[in-house]
Amino acid sequence: MSNFNTIITGTGSFIPSRRIDNSHFARQTFFDRAQTVIDSPGEDVVRKFRDITGIAERRWVEENQTTSDIAAIAARRAIESAGADPETIDQIIVAQNFGDVMRGTIQTDMVPSIASRVKHQLGIRNPQCIPYDLIFGCPGWIQGLIHADAFIRTGMARRCLVIGAETLSRVVDNYDRDTMIFSDGAGATIIEGVEEEEKRGIISFAAVSHTEEEVHFLYMGKSYNPESDPDTRYIKMDGRKVYEYAITQVPPAMKVALDKAGIDIKDISKVLLHQANEKMDEGIVKRFYRQYGIRPETTDVMPMNIQELGNSSVATIPTLYDMILNQQLSNHKIEKGDYLLFASVGAGMNINAIIYKQ
């Protein structure tokens, strides 16, 4: 008896070539939420930041690039990887949160949608190819996979293009220390429904949302610089609350996905987490395994690229996945038959997780 599987047949990513290392911020004047200058040497601020997040550098796009531009580049690479005809794509799902923001502005541009712009840039003429954006915080790419799987399993689509793309360097407050966390990037995947003897692809998923006080943990707010325009808004977060929420709420959601899959935790080869904060991600994985009475070596099961690439929101997991498949991340590889766990947390607050068999 054959199985109907939803599988990833192609991957692609765009990682900007423009490197911004931590020394870039050493002479920056930072303010706290009360708009009081942080009276510490820049070198100390940067050193403490790296100790907490693990980030040594991040990537920013060139001045003439936008989110839709880099999303289209990653998409072309995924299509080529899959050997797919672009005209056979039924849906283009772009996970993003700020649209196209031109250099030197802070205005979000989402009309038309980023997905429509990607379809245009790809030159797809098929009117049955439906493009739309998914605004779901950092877990957007995983949610895009969940959407694609649902459409494929109900027969409403056969092949989907799911992209996670963001240019966070365009929406940060240069006077806020959290500026150093954020980066730019894009990752794309071709998702297809196929009938096969072996059960593989998306096995199970879980999703959680908390929108009481949690809804304000990430938000748009004014600059911390008291001399800045109070009507201009930038991405802001309550880092401590995000951290506490993530390490307590993400592991149970991951457990729901694993238990639904009906496999043993020891069968998981890799856990691909949203690259948000090195210490936070390590804490999430340790707590996840402790639910099963196991203390893992996180370096073996949890690949990371946040040290060099920073936090590019919806792009972190698909770019990480693509890098591993293309042997661009030392000490980590993914082989046929491996069980993977994708999981993310972000603004909303939203959490999701997928068990995937390679």
Rounded CA-CA distance 152/241 in Å is 37
- The whole-number pLDDT of residue 107 equals 80
Pairing of strands 91-95, 130-134: parallel
Note whether 70 and 78 are within 8 A (CB).
no
Rounded CA-CA distance 25/88 in Å is 46
Rounded CA-CA distance 237/219 in Å is 6
- The whole-number pLDDT of residue 267 equals 96
Q: Alpha-carbon torsion 259, 264, 267, 272, what sign?
A: positive
- The whole-number pLDDT of residue 1 equals 61
- The whole-number pLDDT of residue 300 equals 86
Distances in whole angstroms, Cα of residue 117 to Cα of each of 69, 100, 132: 8, 10, 10
pLDDT in tens for each of the 358 residues of the chain? Answer: 678 999 999 999 999 999 999 999 998 999 999 999 998 887 888 999 999 999 999 999 999 999 999 999 999 999 999 999 999 999 999 999 999 999 888 788 999 999 999 999 999 999 999 999 999 999 999 999 999 999 999 999 999 999 999 999 999 999 999 999 999 999 999 999 999 999 999 999 999 999 999 999 999 999 999 999 999 999 999 999 999 999 999 999 999 999 999 999 999 999 999 999 999 999 999 999 999 999 877 778 999 999 999 999 999 999 999 999 999 998 899 999 999 999 999 999 999 999 999 9
The pair of structure tokens assigned to 202 is 């998306």
Neighbours of 51 (CB within 10 A): 10
The pair of structure tokens assigned to 296 is 């893992």
- The whole-number pLDDT of residue 145 equals 98
> What domains does the chain contain, in order, with CATH numbers?
3-196 (3.40.47.10), 201-357 (3.40.47.10)
Distances in whole angstroms, Cα of residue 247 to Cα of each of 222, 232, 243, 291: 28, 32, 6, 13
Rounded CA-CA distance 316/117 in Å is 21
Note whether 313 and 171 are within 8 A (CB).
no
The pair of structure tokens assigned to 180 is 């150093």
- The whole-number pLDDT of residue 41 equals 83
